[in-house]
């Protein structure tokens, strides 16, 4: 608040010149693709294995520019009830409820931590011991990236368990189990550990990589620094038995993360 009792100006929203940022091209979904992404289709839910680069929420570019829109077109539902979402660049399991009642029940189950979530991630550095990060998260007010989160004492409680699975070439393949679902939780906790997810434009080697990507797109300079065009984070398992669905859903590690591991001598455990 300023001296007049009015909300203060967030300096991250101000700019000294009218900088024109390039709009990141929307990844359009082909009608033939969505069918191949469906892992489970029942009377209650539709479970999708989302590839990286696909937006979950509807956009202004039409129904086939988002997963929610594509699911609605594919299924014929009037409303696609998005129960669990992922960031654009994160791949893996996304759940849609088929009616309002089921959506409400699953949302309550998520808020009560009755849905188990497990991720696969490729992190910088090699480590072999499990670590739990129980650090509160809130907005990173020192970052030029408005959406960035950070560990801060007045943040919301957040707990992530990192279990290394294999190492090689300066990286570690990790299983991450989250107890909470804060914004960018795994990525912010990885940064707090002194590491980052391979390919992460915001929490990686320099958050300005994200601003460069928005302005210029994917460039050779960004490829040299980030190695991957998207963050190597994949939602691999959702345990929804306590939420009344009676199933544990799983999605195998995507090809881009698999190739990254193989080229760096990381032995991928069987079953992933």
Return d(Cα 246, Cα 239) in angstroms, integer: 8
* Coil, helix or strand at residue 52: coil
Place of tokens 């620094």: 225
* Contact (CB, 8 A) for 224 and 204: no
Nearest to 150 by CA among 101, 189, 100, 194: 189
Quick one: DSSP state of residue 13? G
Report the Cα 38 to chain-centroid distance in Å.
19
> 139 catalytic, yes or no?
no
Residues 10, 41, 87, 140: which is the catalytic one?
87
* Contact (CB, 8 A) for 100 and 167: no
* Strands (DSSP E) found in 35-84: 38-41, 45-50, 81-84
Return d(Cα 123, Cα 138) in angstroms, integer: 22
Nearest to 74 by CA among 37, 105, 128: 37
Buried b (16+ CB within 10 A) or exposed e, 27-36: eebeeeebee
Residues assigned a catalytic role: 87
């Amino acid at each position: 608040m300023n001296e007049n009792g009015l909300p203060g100006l967030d300096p991250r929203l101000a700019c000294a010149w009218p900088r024109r940022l390039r709009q990141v091209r929307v990844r359009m979904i082909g009608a033939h693709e969505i069918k191949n992404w469906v892992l489970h289709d029942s009377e209650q839910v539709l479970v999708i294995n989302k590839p990286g680069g696909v937006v979950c929420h509807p956009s202004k570019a039409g129904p086939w520019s988002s997963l929610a829109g594509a699911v609605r077109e594919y299924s014929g539902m009037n409303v696609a009830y998005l129960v669990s979402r992922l960031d654009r660049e994160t791949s893996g399991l996304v759940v849609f409820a088929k009616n309002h009642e089921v959506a409400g029940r699953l949302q309550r189950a998520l808020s009560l931590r009755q849905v188990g979530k497990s991720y696969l991630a490729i992190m910088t550095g090699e480590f072999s011991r499990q670590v739990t990060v129980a650090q509160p998260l809130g907005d990173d007010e020192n970052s030029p990236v408005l959406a960035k989160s950070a560990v801060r004492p007045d943040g919301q409680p957040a707990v992530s368990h990192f279990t290394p699975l294999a190492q090689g070439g300066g990286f570690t393949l990790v299983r991450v189990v989250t107890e909470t679902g804060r914004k960018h939780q795994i990525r912010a906790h990885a940064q707090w550990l002194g590491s980052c997810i391979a390919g992460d434009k915001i929490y990686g080697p320099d958050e300005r990589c994200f601003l460069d990507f928005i302005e210029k797109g994917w460039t050779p300079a960004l490829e040299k620094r980030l190695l991957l065009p998207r963050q190597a984070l994949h939602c691999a398992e959702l345990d929804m038995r306590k939420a009344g669905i009676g199933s544990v859903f799983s999605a195998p590690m995507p090809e881009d993360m698999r190739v990254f591991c193989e080229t760096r001598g990381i032995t991928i455990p069987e079953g992933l």
